[in-house]
Amino acid sequence: MSSTPPAHLHLAVALDGTGWHPASWREPAARPRDLFTAGYWTDLITEAERGLLDFVTIEDGLGPQSDHPWAADERTDRVRGRLDAVLIASRVAPLTRHIGLVPTVVATHTEPFHISKAIATLDHISGGRAGLRVRITARQDEAAHFGRRTIRRIDSLGTPYAQEVITELFDEAADHVEVVRRLWDSWEDDAEIRDAATGRFIDRDKLHHIGFEGRFFSVKGPSITPRPPQGQPPVTALAHGTVPYRLLARQADIGYVTPHDTAQARAIVAEIRAEQQAAGRAGQTLHVFGDLLVLLDDSRAEAEARRDRLDALAGEPYTGDAPVFTGTARQLADVLEESAEQGLSGFRLRPAVAGHDLPRITRDLVPELQRRRRFRDAYGSGTLRGLLGLARPANRYSAAVA
């Protein structure tokens, strides 16, 4: 009988406003009056760090939140408005020591040069704990903010026009990430000399033009920000089908997926691995995390009653892209272990009510996973790549690599 301990699971939390349930802001633990303060986000992220989580993602967008996936709505009984995710992460970074900080950035209307230096800056500020969650937008109202492209309103993904637009936006996102990655490498690690005696601050030969010419971008480089401490901060993305799975295969270090049962989880992982091989990245680590919205209480009955109360406040049952778990921390641990057997290496949990369900994750679920030897007892690395088991990549432009 093997004495090899079971593999540790990776665990992240997705932070979105007061929580992922649309009525979360009306719960006593929600703190809606603090939502647009630095203290609110500091409290959430330090709580996640208390639970030894790998990282947090911070949601963001380029238009007000909407119950319609492809258009704005006029509802006033939901949280609307956000703080900038990169700036939240930068504010909280000096107040944390271990947890990864992964803000969301919309590639569709944002220049990769700006994103590369923003995430590189976050990596410097945090001492190597930055990541990037890249996403697209096909919303007509968000395109109208910028005036550089026209997107007709999409009401369903089932139309040929919608599929054409989505495919093009994901191809653009793949190029966007490629430019970002090249810009991170445009400074060699030892490009800065900082020798006051000789008056040499920088070795100009170790800054490189990236010369990217593609369908969507033409970027000369180099960046204005030195190479990040991690070399390449981890890139992550959420994917729901073949087209976004290809983005994961081509450019991501972590993909978030939303299987609703173990058979679907197994099929999704197999499809992503096939796409990864087709992209020529079969030898590289690509984590696949399952996304779950969670309502955690002392009993399943309590959690179900709370969900019913939230649904009543929202005026309709909650439905979303990810499966919803309603129960206890022990029951959730069972689900995570079963799902991990299908090839998932970690999970990104979405607290239904951040003020209630995040502490349940850190103070109930994490100890349960530790008892099962499925989660760490202490942070073992100072960088996000280290926590994820990702080696620091060599610089593609350095003479040593050449």
pLDDT score of 51:
98
How far, in Å, are 49, 103, 353 from residue 356 at the CA level? Answer: 16, 22, 5
Residue found under tokens 């509802």: 75
- The answer as to CATH 2.70.98.70 being correct for domain 12-145+233-387 is no
The series of mean pLDDT values per 10 residues for the chain, 402 residues long, is 74 98 96 97 98 98 90 91 97 98 97 98 98 95 89 85 92 97 97 92 94 95 97 98 96 98 96 96 95 98 98 95 97 97 97 98 98 97 97 88 54
Question: CA torsion 383→389→390→392, rounded to 10°?
Answer: 50
Nearest-angstrom CA–CA distance, 212 and 238: 26
- The H-or-E segment that residue 12 falls in is strand 10-15
The answer to whether the beta carbons of residues 88 and 82 sit under 8 Å apart is no
Burial of 331 (0-12, 13-18, 19+ CB in 10 A): middle
328 is in an annotated binding site: no
pLDDT of residue 6: 79
**Separation CA 204–CA 337 (nearest Å):** 51
The pLDDT of residue 1: 45
pLDDT at site 208? 96
Output the pTM of the full model.
0.96
138 with 165: CB under 8 angstroms? yes
Give SS3 for 354. helix
Residues 6+ apart with CB under 8 A from 397: 185, 186, 188, 208, 210
Contact, 103 vs 86, CB < 8 A?
yes
Q: How many CA atoms lie within 13 A of 384 on its CB side?
A: 34
Strand partners, 348: 12, 291
- Side chain identity, residue 351: P
Residue 215 near residue 227 (C-beta atoms within 8 A): no
pLDDT for the residue 151: 86
**Contact assessment for residue 343 and residue 265, using Cβ atoms and an 8 Å cutoff:** yes
- How deeply is 161 buried, as exposed, middle or buried, from its count of CB atoms within 10 A (0-12, 13-18, 19+)? exposed
On the 0-12 / 13-18 / 19+ scale of CB atoms within 10 A, 304 is: middle
Report DSSP state, residue 206.
Answer: G
Strand 200-202 and strand 192-195: pairing?
antiparallel
Q: How far is CA 115 from CA 57, 122, 176, 238, in A?
A: 16, 10, 9, 18
Annotated binding-site residue? 104: yes
